[in-house]
Amino acid sequence: MTTRVIEPNEYRRIIELLPNRQSALALQLQASLGLRIGDVLALRVSNFKNGRLEKHEKKTGKLQYREINKDVYAFIKDYAIEQGLSQKDALFNIGVRAVQKQLKSVTTLLNLTNISTHSFRKLFATTIYENNNHDLELVKELLNHSSITTTQRYIRVSQQAIDKASAGVNFMDW
């Protein structure tokens, strides 16, 4: 079973139904930053400086150092203040398995299949790809992949795009 990219409407429904705010926030950050769930859950307030993300990935050891969306940055800062977190504090006190278990419960309730936490990273990848002239190299760099082949497996055409393209074909009038 291959984990698939989630559609934006599925994303919204999942986030709304997650019972734990930290799980919802972790998946929102995963979709917004493109990090693996373990890296998201290991984030500290200090990983966010001057509108940028600075984090070494656990799996690859590679540095993620890049500007992030200003609204995402503001949300993280506000969240840290609201939670009384200092610069050295972790944003989350929840584990990967807990997030996976809650996500599974919600996707089962919604009758959605082939969705895991990695679907949110794939949503990030697909969104970057679609919003940046289908620049596969850019997506590869943002995900810190060592090969374009790996990145290509992340990019999937959305069901909406498939439906729109298919519905737009009509040779019956000829």
In whole angstroms, give the CA distance from residue 42 to residue 130. Answer: 28
- Name the residue among 69, 71, 75 with its Cα closest to residue 128: 69
For residue 46, the one-letter residue type is S
Q: Judge whether 115 lies within some domain.
A: yes
Domain interval for residue 155 = 8-165
pLDDT of residue 148: 84
Label residue 117 by pLDDT band (50, 70, 90).
very high
- Name the residue among 43, 50, 17, 19 with its Cα closest to residue 29: 43
Residue labelled with tokens 């992949």: 145
Q: Judge whether 170 lies within some domain.
A: no
Tokens (6 digits) for 133: 């002239």
Strand partners, 65: 54
Label residue 157 by pLDDT band (50, 70, 90).
low
- Name the residue among 38, 18, 11 with its Cα closest to residue 122: 11
Q: Judge whether 89 lies within some domain.
A: yes
Could you tell me the pTM of the whole model? Answer: 0.87
In whole angstroms, give the CA distance from residue 93 to residue 170. Answer: 54
Domains identified in the chain, total number: 1
pLDDT of residue 159: 63
Q: Judge whether 70 lies within some domain.
A: yes
**Percent of the chain scoring above 70 in pLDDT:** 94
Q: Judge whether 174 lies within some domain.
A: no
DSSP state of 111: T
pLDDT of residue 62: 87
Residue 30 CB contacts under 8 Å (≥ 6 apart), including other chains? 36, 37, 40, 117, 120, 121, 124
Report the CATH number that the domain containing residue 42 is assigned in CATH: 1.10.443.10
Q: Judge whether 2 lies within some domain.
A: no
Q: Judge whether 44 lies within some domain.
A: yes
